[in-house]
Amino acid sequence: MSFDNLGLSSPLLRALADLGYTSPTEIQQLAIPHVLQGRDVLAGAQTGTGKTAAFALPLLQRLAAGTPATSKRPRALVLTPTRELAAQVHESVRDYGKHLRIRSATVFGGVGMVPQVEALRRGVDVLVATPGRLIDHLGQGTVDLSQIEVLILDEADRMLDMGFLPAIKRILTKLPHKRQTLLFSATFAEQIRELAKQFLHNPAEIQVAPRNSTVEMIEHVVYPVDTAKKRDLLLHVLSLDSRRQTLVFSRTKHGADRLVKLLEAAGMKAAAIHGNKSQGARTKALSDFKNGRITALVATDIAARGIDIDQLPTVINFDLPMVAEDYVHRIGRTGRNGSTGHAISLVCHEEAGQLREIQKLIGREITQEVIVGFEPNQPLKMCGPMPRPSGSPRPQQRRAGGGGRGPANGRSNGASAGAGNNRSGAAQPRRSQNSDRRV
C-alpha cells in the first residue's frame, strides 16, 4: 500500500515525497481513515512505528479542508508529556504541512513565555503543548481554547496517569464539548484504557502488535552485576566501541549527572538531559547527540519519550525503571523504522523484582549474560519461580575483553513469562519519586 491509497490530499503527498516516505506503516494504515472520518480513536502501537504521522497527516487534511478560521484561536490541540516530544511533534506538523496554509506553534516550560505569547497573538491553527505551560498561558489569558475542533493526547498513558490527570481535567474544561479526540501511545495499562474511554465517544480502538510489546528488531540482554561494580561495568561496555552512540538511562537526575562526570573522566564525550537542566541545555545536549558530537547521552525517563534518532544502535539501562511500562518506552529509542537495536540492562540483586515485572509486561524472559570479571555475589532471584521455557538459555558467561561485535548480542527467547505476584503493580498509573513531572 502507498500513501495515495489513504485518501490524503496532494499537498500532504508532496510533503511525504519530499521527506522520502513512500509506504505507510501499519498504525498509519489503520488510524488515518478513522481520523479522516472524524471518529474518536484510541490507538496503541509500538514506539518507532510512526504514530505522529498517523494523527498529524489526517489532522492537517481536516483543518485544510474545513471552514477557514475566523479568529486567531487554535483549532487543534496536541498535548505531550515532555518538552522534547512537544518539539518533535511540532517539527513533524511543520514538515507534513509545509505545502498547506496551516499555522502551528508549540508552548512548553523551561523557556520564556514572551515568544510563545507573540506566536499565539499572530494566530495558530495547531497548538502543540505540555500541560504545565499550557495552564500557565490559560491562567494569564494568553490562549483561548474555545475553538478547538480536535484534541490529541500523544503518549496518552503518561498523560492520563495520576501525575497528569488533574492538569488534563483542568484543560478539558476549557475545550468545546463537541470535538474529535485522539489518544495515541505505545503502552496502555488496563486502568488507563478504561480511564481514557471517559474522554472518548464511540472510539475506534486500534492495537498494532500486542499491548506493551517491544519491537522484534531489538535484542534484549541483562548483565547481572553487584551495585558496587555497576559503574565499572558501564565503562567496560561503552569502551568496547567508544564511537557507538549510546543512550544511557539513570533513575535519578543526580545519578545522571554523576554518570556524565564518570564518563568524561574516562575520556568519553557525554552529556546529561533531565528536568533540572534548562531547556537550552537539554536542546543542546540532544542536538549534540544527534549530530555525533557526543557519543553518550545520559537521561532520566524524561527522554524515554520524544527522542527520535535514526538508527540509534544501543540503549543501556544503568538503573531499571520503577514502572515496568517505562522500559518499553526507553528501549523504543532504538530499533526504530526497521533498523536493529540493542537493549542492555545492568541489573543488581536489589532490582530483581523490577526485572520480573518488566518480563511479565513484555511477555518474555530476557537472556542473562554474566560478564567475566563482573560476576555478582548474589544471582538474580526473580522473586518467585520464573518458569523456564523448554530450550531457554541459562545465564551465559562472556569474557571481559572479547567480542568485536560488542556486548549486545544476547537475544530474548520470545517465550511468555510465567505467572507470579505483581508486587510493584506494574499496571498501576504511578511514577517514581524522581520522575521529571514539571514540563
**C-alpha Rg value of the chain to the nearest Å:** 22
Is residue 54 included in any domain, yes or no?
yes
Is residue 13 included in any domain, yes or no?
yes
pTM (whole model) above 0.75: no
Q: What is d(CA 303, CA 274) in angstroms, rounded to the nearest whole number?
A: 8
Is residue 303 included in any domain, yes or no?
yes
Q: What is d(CA 103, CA 36) in angstroms, rounded to the nearest whole number?
A: 20
What pLDDT does residue 279 have? 75
Do 393 and 259 belong to one domain? yes
Asked which of 154, 176, 207 is the last residue of a domain, the reply is 207
Which backbone phi and psi does 85 adopt, to 5 degrees? -70, -35
What pLDDT does residue 369 have? 94
Contacts with 291 (C-beta within 8 Å, 6 or more apart), sequence order = none
Contact 297, 303 (CB under 8 A): yes
Q: What range does the domain containing 320 cover?
A: 218-398
Q: What is d(CA 177, CA 79) in angstroms, rounded to the nearest whole number?
A: 17
Do 309 and 196 belong to one domain? no
Contact 382, 258 (CB under 8 A): no
Q: How many domains does the chain have?
A: 2
Do 123 and 235 belong to one domain? no
Q: What is d(CA 100, CA 218) in angstroms, rounded to the nearest whole number?
A: 37
Contact 365, 412 (CB under 8 A): yes
Q: Looking at residue 266, which CATH number applies to its domain?
A: 3.40.50.300
What pLDDT does residue 91 have? 93
What pLDDT does residue 338 have? 55
Contact 170, 94 (CB under 8 A): no
Contacts with 292 (C-beta within 8 Å, 6 or more apart), sequence order = 245
What pLDDT does residue 392 have? 41
Do 111 and 38 belong to one domain? yes
Is residue 64 included in any domain, yes or no?
yes
Q: What is d(CA 300, CA 302) in angstroms, rounded to the nearest whole number?
A: 5
Q: How far is CA 105 from CA 91, 92, 144, in A?
A: 10, 12, 14
Q: What is d(CA 122, CA 115) in angstroms, rounded to the nearest whole number?
A: 11
Backbone angle region of 144, left / alpha / beta, with phi > 0 → left and psi within -120 to 50 → alpha: beta
Asked which of 186, 207, 228 is the last residue of a domain, the reply is 207
Q: Write the single-letter amino acid at 25.
A: T
Is residue 386 included in any domain, yes or no?
yes
Do 167 and 282 belong to one domain? no
Do 259 and 360 belong to one domain? yes
CA 255 to centroid of chain Cα atoms: 21
Q: What is d(CA 262, CA 260) in angstroms, rounded to the nearest whole number?
A: 5
What pLDDT does residue 171 have? 94
Do 64 and 9 belong to one domain? yes
Which backbone phi and psi does 108 adopt, to 5 degrees? -155, 165
Asked which of 207, 232, 248 is the last residue of a domain, the reply is 207
Contact 1, 24 (CB under 8 A): yes
Burial 80-102 (b: 16+ CB within 10 A, else e): bbbbbbbbbbbebbbebbebbeb
Beta pairing partners, 396: 369
Q: Which three cell numbers stand for residue 202?
A: 464511540
Is residue 305 included in any domain, yes or no?
yes
Do 224 and 194 belong to one domain? no
Do 127 and 194 belong to one domain? yes
Q: Which three cell numbers stand for residue 12?
A: 500532504
Is residue 416 included in any domain, yes or no?
no
Is residue 421 included in any domain, yes or no?
no
Question: Quick check: helix, strand or coil at residue 73?
Answer: coil
Do 248 and 343 belong to one domain? yes
Residues of the chain with pLDDT under 50: 212, 383-395, 400-439
Do 275 and 346 belong to one domain? yes
Question: Quick check: helix, strand or coil at residue 370?
Answer: strand
Do 285 and 196 belong to one domain? no
